[in-house]
Structure 1
Amino acid sequence: MEKTETRQNLYLVMGGRVSDPRSITFQDPESIHVAGVFDDYDNAENAWRANAQRTVDDAEMKYVIVHLHKLLDPAA
């Protein structure tokens, strides 16, 4: 009997100063703040929300959730 591996979902929460608030082009990619990598979307969203709320008064600061599992296995 073959063992099937369950697909692991990973989410990266990161943010930094963007050149235009309507884009996700970071001004200085080397200074991006990595809030963490999470194995479920709810925890990633909580981390995103906490960091976004903390910087809400700065229009040039933007946090995003990156679906790492989609980058690691684009065919899935």
Structure 2
Amino acid sequence: MNPPRKKIPNKQLLHLVIGGELDNLKDVTFKDLNALDIVGVYPNYAAAHAVWKQKAQMTVDNAEMRYFIVHLHRLLEPDIEE
């Protein structure tokens, strides 16, 4: 059981947007890590989602290409509530 997460107002909630071609569509294993598209780090989910949506739409014709939003703030401070 996880301990309760603390709520901190106006906390920076970093999010990373990455993408790449998947080895297969059933799991998240990239074909080539050297070709991984590290789009950037964003201060909140809304900003990351806007960029993720744009990148995903640009690659809609490639069924193996996927973009993801990684919640960096959850990795850096797992006890902080969003």
TM interval, short-chain normalised: 0.7 to 0.9
Do 1:21 and 1:62's aligned partners in 2 also have CA atoms closer than 8 Å? no
What is the TM-score normalised by the length of structure 2? 0.79
Partner of 1:22: 26
Query: Percent identity between the aligned chains?
Result: 42
Are the counterparts in 1 of residues 18 and 39 from structure 2 also a CA contact under 8 Å? Answer: yes
With structure 1 as the length reference, what TM-score do the two structures score? Answer: 0.84
Confirm or deny: 8 A CA contact 2:23 2:29 kept in the other structure: yes
Gaps of 5+ in 1: none
Contact 2:12 2:44 in 1 (8 A): no
Partner secondary structure for residue 51 of structure 1: helix
Selected match of 1:66 from 45, 53, 70 = 70
The answer to whether residue 68 in structure 2 is matched with residue 57 in structure 1 is: no
Q: 1:49 and 1:5, CA in 2 relative to 1: closer, same or farther beyond 3 A?
A: closer
Q: CA deviation at 1:5?
A: 8.6
User: Aligned AA for 2:38?
Assistant: V
Q: Is the 8 A contact 2:14 2:41 kept in 1?
A: yes
Q: Provide the rounded CA distance (Å) in 2 between the counterparts of 1:69 and 1:56.
A: 28
Report the secondary structure of 2:63's partner residue.
Answer: coil
In the comparison of the two structures, how many residue pairs are matched? 73
Of the structure 1 ranges 14-23 and 63-72, higher mean CA displacement relative to structure 2 is found in 14-23
